[in-house]
Copies of this chain bind each other. A is one copy, B any other.
Amino acid sequence: MTQQDRLSSTFSALSDPTRRAILAKLALGETSVTELAKPFDMSLPAISKHLKVLEHAGLISRGREAQWRPCRIEGAALKDVDAWLENYRQFWEQSFDRLEAYLTVLQAKDKTPARRKKK
């Protein structure tokens, strides 16, 4: 799969609130499908489909333990998103920098120079 396609399927997978909620739950630890499905007013097959989408996007992986298929988060796909986003950081830190620059001008010159906001 090309990098483009990978990013596309990752963003696509993340565009569904149910799937993001599943990820949020998985962030707390590995869980079974039924357990993941509990909070949702939705059939189990629907959840199963969502998990397949997440798995195909590389956002989760699934093991096997007796009759359970525990799911866990895989960070690699999210790392790609982070790397993509990095190219655009200037566009939301810009206004901050301008404000910062403005305040720097307003304030006394003997203050230490403003540092870039650390993420």
Contacts and interface: CB of A to CB of B under 8 A. Distances in A.
Contacts of A81: 81, 85
Interface residues of A, number: 37
A15 B23 contact: no
Assembly of this chain: how many copies? 2
A12 interface: yes
A11 interface: yes
B73 A91 contact: yes
Interface of A: 4-5, 7-9, 11-12, 14-17, 20, 23-24, 27, 73-76, 78-79, 81-82, 84-95, 118-119
A89 B95 contact: no
| 9 cross-chain pairs, A with B, having the tightest CB-CB distances, nearest first | A75-B92, A75-B91, A79-B92, A11-B15, A12-B15, A11-B14, A119-B119, A4-B17, A73-B91
